[in-house]
Chain A
Amino acid sequence: VTPFNVFKTLLMKTLLIIFGLLLLSLLSLRAQSLRVSYYGETITHYGLKAAYEWPVWSYTKQRNQAQKKLLFAPGLAVYRHPHNHIGLVFSPELTYRRTSRRGGIFEAGIAPAYFRYFLEGTTFEVNDSGELTRVPLAGGNAFLPTVSIGFGKDLSIRRQLPLSWYTRLNLMQQRPYNTSALIRFSLEAGVNIPLKKP
């Protein structure tokens, strides 16, 4: 470890923080919204998800008044697979959303999500002397790259309700899982509440 390397690391970290703050301040100037939904891993393993949306880019087509947006939406989902595990999914999503003139929504997204799970059961680990010792909050961490596709309706366009509903399907790959990887899927159904006008 040389002083130059330390300086380089510090500089990189500072630049990253400055870049992050700049991005956030730019994003905060735009309309933001909160997404709250039911989150069902394999549909029935129930949970909740919340995500905060910042538009990164938006465009309205003059011909049909369809609005296109690219959103950055960090979200957190918590769910329970009874007698198996409790899962936490932190997903910094990048979502493309198209809202038609009549309010119909289509969206697709990707997220390099982080997955933390806690085994739902009393866990015993075999220690070096071959004895079984209890492990509190046993679980694991995994990378969970995700692709999503969904649809919904913006109710503010025709019904004057400042709200939209949506549902989306997420396809995820848990890595590592045992000797390889595991495909998971989840269903989201919820509402999108605008927080700040553009």
Chain B
Amino acid sequence: MKTICKFLSIACLLALLACSEQDAQPVENTTLYLRNKGADMPIWVRGNTQSKKIVLYLHGGPGDCSMCYRYYLKGIESEAMVAYWDQRVAGASSGKVKESTLRYAQFNEDMQYVVKLLRQRYPNTQVYLLAHSFGVELAWQFLTTGNNQQLIAGLMVVNGIYSFSNWIINVHDWALREARRQGNAEAESYLSAHPVPPENAATSDWEAVYRWMYKLGGNPVSLYDDGKYIINYAFNSPNTALAQFTHGKAYSYYGNVESRLFEKGALLQNVTIPVGLFWGVKDGVVPLGVGQATKQLLTRTRVTEVLFNESWHEPFVTETDKFRQAVVNFIR
């Protein structure tokens, strides 16, 4: 009986302690979902709420993932909230999605609602965009539509394009230069015989140029080389482990038709919000030449340029600390 009384007393004490009022958490750890046109898209919001700043990460691909890069981006969370949004079909997005919705216009609509949701959930908070690769295409499209710039405090561009033509010309130039530097006669011969003139860029065989670029070391970094990353990704994160390998074919229309028509160059002069150009200098996927051309077109805004000399396409993977600092400096 005595033992039971003791046990009950301890249990009551613990229960009372558990009921004590807790301070509001300064760290956000919320999962939101946006349901639109058949897709359930997760938006994981993590980080410092007191900063009143959200960095919305726009992942690449199309078909890459957002939360899977938290491993490298979480250093930013001490300074701001980071919203990791998995685009439709990509990452841990689920639902029953028609392939015909994988279009720029639909991605733009989804992004409109993601920004709207974040602004509703976090009033009086500034939203910044951190866009990587394909995410940059979404960012330019979003910011050059209507009054969307009023919703965004700033854009950080990481190795992404504003124009298909400009991109493939730069990839071709990069590959030819590397072929000559490395003494790769076969590559040099192919690339010289298949130039990409601006007037034919949109109809060029971009995949052949792209393959040579990869063979010449345009982006040797693979996340899958890091065992610790893989274990965290597959077993200890909100990512859906095998989802990355389910949807490759779904983007064929994007690759064959829509991406070739992507051209926002003339509209960049309308961008007035601050822009940061963060570039992996060694990248062949989206070479530095694209970044330089982007800067020239941004005539009506303040442009901050940060170069990552030891990086390829994902500078946040190869120079994580420097990248974190660049983001923090930009949003301060």
Instruction: Report the minimal beta-carbon distance from A90 to chain B, rounded to whole angstroms.
Output: 19
Chain B residue numbers with a CB within 8 Å of A181 are 246
Instruction: Report the minimal beta-carbon distance from B62 to chain A, rounded to whole angstroms.
Output: 12
Of B93, B116, B238, the contact of A132 (CB 8 Å cutoff): B116
A-B contact count (CB 8 A): 100
User: Which of A13-21, A105-113, A114-122 contacts its partner?
Assistant: A114-122
Chain B residue numbers with a CB within 8 Å of A122 are 30-33
Whether B240 and A182, one on each chain, are in contact in the complex, defined by CB atoms closer than 8 angstroms, is yes
Chain B residue numbers with a CB within 8 Å of A126 are 34-37, 113
Closest to B42 in A: A121
> Is A57 on the interface with B (CB-CB < 8 A)?
no
Whether B250 and A138, one on each chain, are in contact in the complex, defined by CB atoms closer than 8 angstroms, is no
Whether A180 and B34, one on each chain, are in contact in the complex, defined by CB atoms closer than 8 angstroms, is no
B-side binding surface: helix, strand, loop or mixed? Answer: mixed
With A and B bound together, what is the CA distance between A89 and B246 in angstroms? 21
Whether B94 and A177, one on each chain, are in contact in the complex, defined by CB atoms closer than 8 angstroms, is yes
Whether A140 and B94, one on each chain, are in contact in the complex, defined by CB atoms closer than 8 angstroms, is yes
Chain B residue numbers with a CB within 8 Å of A177 are 94, 243, 246
Whether B96 and A178, one on each chain, are in contact in the complex, defined by CB atoms closer than 8 angstroms, is yes
Complex interface residues of chain B between 198 and 242 (CB less than 8 A to chain A): 234-236, 238-242
Among A42, A44, A120, A126, residue most surrounded by chain B Cβ atoms (within 10 Å): A126
Closest to A185 in B: B242
Chain B residues with a Cβ closer than 8 Å to the other chain, count: 40
With A and B bound together, what is the CA distance between A167 and B213 in angstroms? 47
Complex interface residues of chain A between 137 and 175 (CB less than 8 A to chain B): 138, 140
A-side binding surface: helix, strand, loop or mixed? Answer: strand
Whether A178 and B97, one on each chain, are in contact in the complex, defined by CB atoms closer than 8 angstroms, is yes
Complex interface residues of chain A between 82 and 121 (CB less than 8 A to chain B): 82-85, 117, 119-121
Complex interface residues of chain B between 21 and 50 (CB less than 8 A to chain A): 30-37, 39-40, 42, 44
With A and B bound together, what is the CA distance between A178 and B249 in angstroms? 12
A132-B113, A179-B89 known; A123 vs B35 contact (CB < 8 Å): yes
Closest to A82 in B: B238
Whether B247 and A180, one on each chain, are in contact in the complex, defined by CB atoms closer than 8 angstroms, is yes
With A and B bound together, what is the CA distance between A83 and B94 in angstroms? 14
Whether A176 and B42, one on each chain, are in contact in the complex, defined by CB atoms closer than 8 angstroms, is no
> Is B321 on the interface with A (CB-CB < 8 A)?
no
> Is A195 on the interface with B (CB-CB < 8 A)?
no
With A and B bound together, what is the CA distance between A87 and B240 in angstroms? 13
> Is B255 on the interface with A (CB-CB < 8 A)?
no
> Is B52 on the interface with A (CB-CB < 8 A)?
no
Chain A residues with a Cβ closer than 8 Å to the other chain, count: 30
Closest to B33 in A: A123
Instruction: Report the minimal beta-carbon distance from B43 to chain A, rounded to whole angstroms.
Output: 8
> Is A81 on the interface with B (CB-CB < 8 A)?
yes
With A and B bound together, what is the CA distance between A42 and B97 in angstroms? 24
Chain A residue numbers with a CB within 8 Å of B234 are 42
Whether B238 and A184, one on each chain, are in contact in the complex, defined by CB atoms closer than 8 angstroms, is no
Complex interface residues of chain A between 25 and 84 (CB less than 8 A to chain B): 42-44, 81-84
A126-B113, A138-B40, A178-B95 known; A42 vs B247 contact (CB < 8 Å): no
Whether A179 and B238, one on each chain, are in contact in the complex, defined by CB atoms closer than 8 angstroms, is no
> Is A183 on the interface with B (CB-CB < 8 A)?
yes
> Is B293 on the interface with A (CB-CB < 8 A)?
no
> Is B99 on the interface with A (CB-CB < 8 A)?
yes
With A and B bound together, what is the CA distance between A180 and B31 in angstroms? 25
With A and B bound together, what is the CA distance between A140 and B94 in angstroms? 9
Closest to B89 in A: A178
- Per-residue interface assignment for chain B, residues 59 to 89, with 1 indicating a CB less than 8 Å from any chain A CB and 0 otherwise: 0000000000000000000000000000011
Closest to A126 in B: B36
Whether A179 and B32, one on each chain, are in contact in the complex, defined by CB atoms closer than 8 angstroms, is no
> Is B98 on the interface with A (CB-CB < 8 A)?
yes
Whether B236 and A44, one on each chain, are in contact in the complex, defined by CB atoms closer than 8 angstroms, is yes
Closest to A120 in B: B31
Whether B246 and A124, one on each chain, are in contact in the complex, defined by CB atoms closer than 8 angstroms, is no
> Is B92 on the interface with A (CB-CB < 8 A)?
yes
Of B30, B95, B113, B238, the contact of A84 (CB 8 Å cutoff): B238
Chain A residue numbers with a CB within 8 Å of B116 are 132
Instruction: Report the minimal beta-carbon distance from B217 to chain A, rounded to whole angstroms.
Output: 32
With A and B bound together, what is the CA distance between A4 and B105 in angstroms? 51
Whether A124 and B32, one on each chain, are in contact in the complex, defined by CB atoms closer than 8 angstroms, is yes
6 contacts between A and B (CB under 8 A): A84-B42, A84-B238, A121-B32, A178-B93, A179-B99, A180-B247
A residues with CB within 8 A of B: 42-44, 81-85, 117, 119-126, 132, 135, 138, 140, 176-184
The 5 closest A-B pairs by CB, nearest first: A121-B31, A83-B238, A123-B33, A125-B35, A44-B235
